[in-house]
A and B are shown apart, each in its own frame.
Chain A
């Protein structure tokens, strides 16, 4: 792990009473957040709650208008944006996308060593032989993995992912979850945003509930509880226990189409 940590405290990133805004409209307000090496953290919240802005604040692409955002000395951050943030018809191959993250060398073409690194990374992510493929010819999960490979090329100690399972099927979500667990197991700190409470968030060891500010942080069983979820999502939610995992159910829509109520009353 590189980096000496924020002010000697060992933290990779520290936000202290940080407020982030676009123009005059604050989006994330008064946030205290510390990311320590080895953590795997999920951020949940409804659309417009400031999840992406929080990531950009950690990245440093959005500066705090109040409070502070500090990154440990020399701490590099890998960033995986939402898949729909780029044009997938752009004329680049998988290898060319991953190589965008290479540092140092100024020549347009990659060195043999850099190509070997990319090939090894793609193999690790289950994409053997796809380096020369155009990015449009990949499935949604493979496109997500291309972004992940680009973020990991520089071996950053901290990896941020914005909705990594948005729009993918159940199998791909399962694979991405396992990949992230593996990356985390290799010593990388991971922070991701998700709106998928049951498929993603419930499987993470550390959760943050965000709605313009941090409302709660802790283990899924401590955070995914009706009072916190109601404050976060503004909707009545129930939490059931399913094989030891919290299962969040929308109480307001349960039986809304009639069949649930009928079955319940039968």
Chain B
């Protein structure tokens, strides 16, 4: 109680007096956790650039929706879904190089969004909020949408755990074991598009890729177990979201920036600590062969 009283006296609880901040805080924690969870797959599949590109593509859809007078979620959602499927297809074909194709598709979409927003600056959500994230853009409806997306993504990852892990680690053998790798890839792209769409208001187009990557990278430094990495990355993402949103109120800067900066600080601390630990304990040499290999039947 004394601590709470001290915090109140120092006005540290001031942000929570405002409903929009409370909404923003809830969404930031949920969005951070959501991006942390999906970020594990994004980083392990070397899809960081895809996440970055997809957020830019969705921005174009949002701008188009604003011009056409269509709801942000409908327009950006449809655009994002098509972009996600197109990117997924492009990455499976090697003819022109996935990175080049994604670069063309997503930057073109982003440029379209900028052009439309310049022409109609007053329409729809503010460009700055979409680009860099803003606490002001979070409504109670946004809270429900992000919470719903979290539930959907969490349930899908839970139920499709083996298929997503297997196709991420060894797609060839996963396919041979009867898992549809194409379906798993598409599912992941759709989940990623949904997460980016839901989180864009808070995190912003330009910074969302970092919130996908940083928690997973920090978690990877801390564990060599996939299941541990999943929950650790989710936890780190949620913590960075909450702390970053809280800091953004006092620092008076965009929430996306503070969330990413908190995540980056966590990365630097973890990197330094694990590097020091590795220096003290050099990596174990490969284990010796077991004496007398068991050749008898079990």
Contacts and interface: CB of A to CB of B under 8 A. Distances in A.
Pick the most buried of A126, A128, A179, A186: most chain B CB atoms within 10 A of its CB: A126
Interface in A74-118: 77, 79, 81, 85-86, 90-93, 96-97, 100-102, 106-109
Contact of B295 (A77, A109, A141, A178): A178
A123 B225 contact: no
A90 B44 contact: yes
Contacts of B168: 90
Interface residues of A, number: 47
Nearest to B225: A93
A185 B44 CA distance: 39
A186 B298 CA distance: 10
Contacts of B44: 90-91
Interface string B272-298: 000000000001101101100111011
Contacts, number: 102
Given A85-B172, A175-B293, A138 B287 contact: yes
B224 A134 contact: yes
Interface string A208-227: 00000000000000000000
Given A125-B294, A134-B224, A100 B289 contact: no
A92 B226 contact: yes
Given A106-B159, A123-B294, A139-B286, A96 B226 contact: yes
B165 interface: yes
B286 A85 contact: no
Interface stretch (B106-114, B126-134, B173-181, B203-211): B173-181
Q: How large is the interface on B (under 10, 10 to 19, 20 to 34, 35 or more residues)?
A: 20 to 34
Nearest to A130: B287
B18 interface: no
B223 A108 contact: no
Interface in A13-34: none
Contact of B298 (A108, A123, A178): A123
A100 B162 contact: yes
B44 to A, nearest CB: 7
Given A79-B176, A137-B287, A120 B298 contact: yes
A263 interface: no
B162 A108 contact: yes
A59 interface: yes
Contacts of A175: 289, 293
A242 interface: no
B170 to A, nearest CB: 5
Given A139-B289, A175-B293, A81 B229 contact: no
Interface in A113-162: 120, 123-128, 130, 133-134, 136-139, 141-142, 150
B166 interface: yes
B169 A100 contact: yes
Contacts of B224: 91-93, 134, 136
Nearest to A181: B295
Given A79-B176, A93-B224, A178-B293, A100 B159 contact: no
A61 interface: yes
Contacts of B174: 100
B166 to A, nearest CB: 5
Given A79-B176, A108-B162, A137 B286 contact: yes
Contact of A96 (B225, B284, B298): B225
A77 B178 CA distance: 10
Contact of A97 (B169, B286, B287, B290): B169
A182 B172 contact: no
Contact of A142 (B162, B165, B220, B287): B287
A182 B169 contact: no
7 contacts: A90-B169, A91-B220, A91-B225, A91-B229, A108-B158, A128-B290, A137-B286
Rank and list the top 5 A-B pairs by shortest CB-CB distance, nearest first.
A108-B161, A134-B224, A126-B293, A139-B286, A79-B176
